[in-house]
Structure formats: C-alpha cells, structure tokens
C-alpha cells in the first residue's frame, strides 16, 4: 500500500499530519468529529485519522457524528466494516479535551462543533471557509476526497493498515468521486490503486448493492413522478424526508437523465430545507453558485460539480413558508441559467406543465 513519491510530494499535508501526530500524546484523548449524517468519505477519513493517532502518537481517539447514518450503502459500510463511529452524546464535544474535524470545517452548518470553541485539527478537501480557525488546519482543495489526504498520510507513516480500513478507504474515495469519474485527480487515483489490493472485493460489492427499505422506493417514486425539467435543468422538491441524504442521492440520480446538465433537489428535514446541486460538466462552479443562492455565509458550498447546503425554515413552519423557501432557491437557480419564467416547468413523468 505504497503511494508513489511523486504523488506524496504534492501531498504536503501528509508530512505535516505525520509530524503532528508522531509522539504527540498531548492530543490524547482525541475526539474525531465528522459532518452530520456521515458519508463514506467522512467515515473512512475519520477511521484513518484514528489509526494514525494511535499508531504514531499513542493517542486515544473516539469517532463521533451528529444526526444518523441514513443512506443504505453508508449504513451497510459502517456495519460490515465495523467502523468504530458513534452517535454524538449530549455535551460530549463541550467536555472533549481535544477535537479534530474531518471532511468538514467548524463554520459549516453540517456539523455540531461548538461555535465558541477552537478546533485542534481540521482535515478537509472542501474550499476553506473564511471563518475556519484551528490550531492546525490541513485543507487541500486539489483532491477529490478527504480520504485521499488520509491515505497519503497512512502511506507515508508506514503503519500497517487492516483490510477493513483499506476497504473503507477504497470505497470512500470511489464513492466521493463516483468511481474516479467526478472531480478525481491523479492523487485520488494513486491512493485508490495503492489500497485496492488490500481491500475486500466481496465487501465492496455488498456495500455497493445493499438491500433497500420500502421508504427508499416510496421516496424514489415520488422524486421521479414530481421531477420537473426546464431546459438543461432537472429537479424536484422531495418534501418531508426521514433522512436528509436522500436529497443528494436524488440529485445524483436525476443528473443521469440524458438531457440534463444540472440537477437541483430540495428536501425538508427537522426544520431545515436541504438543497443539493449537481453539474454534469467540470468547471461549473456549483459550490459558489449554491452558496450565493442560499444567501452566502456558511449555509452552503461545495466543489465545481457537486454542492450542498441548507436553510433554517423552522420545525413549526407552515406549508406556505416551506413552499416559499423551496421555490425561492429553485426559481433563483433557474433564472441564473437563463429561464425567463422559472414557474413554467415540464413534468414529463406525470404529464403536463405547471
């Protein structure tokens, strides 16, 4: 599981992380926080950091997350690989001696990090937020997955990587980059190839094709039936959901429509309107666009082809308030794409326009 010297030379963060953790027991115990409703990239990254902390600095680490692991593939990944990640306990972050964030940053609205606390360590591949502060911030936008950054550090460290973690690393990179086809770089490919021989192919296959609940098919059917098309844009308002990651899942699915260059999906969850934006072409600047649509700040962001965010609407919000929030974001996006009348939409899977 060795990554080429050329690739590691570009991964400056790997050297800094190995140096930071080597013999640095002062960071023990370390609480590793993922973003809420963690995906494979965040889970694999957190697990790799925990191994590095223990192996290099004898640092005790505990991985925690807010929300739930909702998507079937993600739950199966956590269960089959026995990833030691646990739901956040009340007051746990406030009482934690040291905290590291992976695949997210303190100002982002997708994590439970206390607003007035300073993080000890941040490792992320998303664009750096202007308000991100930490004792050590390793943020590298030039890779397609945070897992790649940790994989490079593992390769540099020389630590033995268990098969289960190697499998998580391969799946984390593959999932985040859609099998190295979306925003993947040579470094992502190098890390993927380095850990592939050690990964379990049987487990990867099972994670990729999980058994799904009836709720998934109900949401899928509703999403397809209510999907609209306006020029090169396909989208849908999903309404109330049992898990917010269904929004991103539907956005990825809708973008596979043969005529789509963009997909935009909204969903309601615990008083917040979640929004996912996807682009079919590189250089679309989806993250910047969605951040602007959501009003700036820390409400949303992402990369050139993939973006997500949310708005607070309120647990007690009326149907009219929800409708205004949904339509405000989608109409503004359609106008940004040249739609003269964003209310005029084709609903090809149920017939008619509205």
pLDDT confidence of 78, banded at 50, 70, 90? very high
pLDDT for position 239? 96
pLDDT for position 283? 84
pLDDT for position 3? 73
pLDDT confidence of 219, banded at 50, 70, 90? very high
pLDDT, one tens digit per residue, over 273-306 is 999 999 999 888 898 999 899 987 777 778 889 9
pLDDT for position 23? 72
- Which range among 25-29, 41-45, 200-204 shows the weakest confidence by mean pLDDT? 25-29
pLDDT for position 177? 94
What is the value of pTM for the model shown?
0.87
pLDDT confidence of 8, banded at 50, 70, 90? low
- Which range among 1-5, 85-89, 100-104, 349-353 shows the weakest confidence by mean pLDDT? 1-5
Domains recognised in the chain with CATH numbers: 5-208 (3.90.1640.10), 216-336 (3.10.310.30)
Pick 82 or 297 by higher pLDDT.
82
pLDDT for position 303? 83
Percent of the chain with pLDDT strictly greater than 70: 95
pLDDT, one tens digit per residue, over 248-258 is 999 999 999 99
pLDDT for position 352? 54
Average pLDDT value over all residues in the chain: 93
pLDDT, one tens digit per residue, over 149-177 is 999 999 999 999 999 999 999 999 999 99
231: pLDDT strictly greater than 90: yes
pLDDT confidence of 25, banded at 50, 70, 90? low
pLDDT for position 215? 93
d(CA 334, CA 215): 29
pLDDT for position 26? 80
- Which range among 31-35, 80-84, 142-146, 303-307 shows the weakest confidence by mean pLDDT? 303-307
124: pLDDT strictly greater than 70: yes
């Amino acid at each position: 599981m060795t990554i080429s010297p050329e690739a590691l030379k570009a991964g400056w963060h790997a050297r800094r992380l190995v140096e930071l953790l080597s013999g640095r027991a002062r960071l023990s115990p370390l609480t590793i926080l993922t973003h809420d409703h963690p995906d494979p990239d965040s889970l694999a990254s957190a697990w790799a950091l925990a191994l590095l902390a223990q192996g290099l600095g004898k640092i005790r680490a505990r991985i925690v997350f807010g929300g739930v692991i909702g998507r079937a593939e993600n739950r199966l990944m956590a269960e089959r690989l026995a990833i030691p990640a646990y739901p956040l306990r009340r007051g746990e972050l406030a009482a934690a001696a040291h905290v590291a964030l992976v695949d997210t940053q303190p100002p982002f609205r997708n994590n439970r990090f206390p607003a007035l606390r300073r993080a000890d360590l941040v490792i992320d591949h998303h664009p750096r937020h202007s308000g991100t502060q930490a004792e050590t911030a390793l943020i590298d936008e030039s890779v397609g997955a945070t897992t790649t950054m940790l994989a490079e550090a593992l390769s540099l460290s020389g630590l033995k990587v268990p098969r289960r973690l190697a499998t998580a690393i391969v799946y984390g990179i593959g999932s985040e980059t859609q099998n190295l086809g979306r925003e993947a770089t040579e470094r992502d490919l190098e890390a993927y190839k380095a850990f592939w021989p050690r990964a379990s192919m049987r487990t990867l296959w099972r994670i990729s094709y999980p058994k799904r609940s009836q709720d998934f098919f109900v949401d899928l059917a509703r999403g397809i039936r209510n999907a609209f098309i306006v020029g090169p844009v396909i989208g849908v308002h999903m309404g109330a959901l049992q898990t917010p990651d269904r929004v991103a899942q539907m956005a990825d699915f809708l973008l596979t429509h043969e005529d789509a260059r963009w997909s935009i999906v909204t969903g309601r969850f615990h008083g917040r309107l979640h929004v996912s934006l996807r682009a079919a072409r590189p250089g679309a600047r989806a993250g910047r666009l969605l951040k602007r649509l959501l009003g700036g700040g820390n409400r949303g962001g992402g990369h050139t082809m993939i973006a997500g965010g949310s708005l607070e609407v309120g647990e007690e919000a009326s149907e009219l308030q929800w409708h205004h929030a949904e339509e405000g974001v989608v109409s503004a996006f359609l106008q940004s794409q040249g739609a003269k009348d964003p209310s005029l939409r084709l609903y090809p899977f149920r017939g008619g326009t509205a």
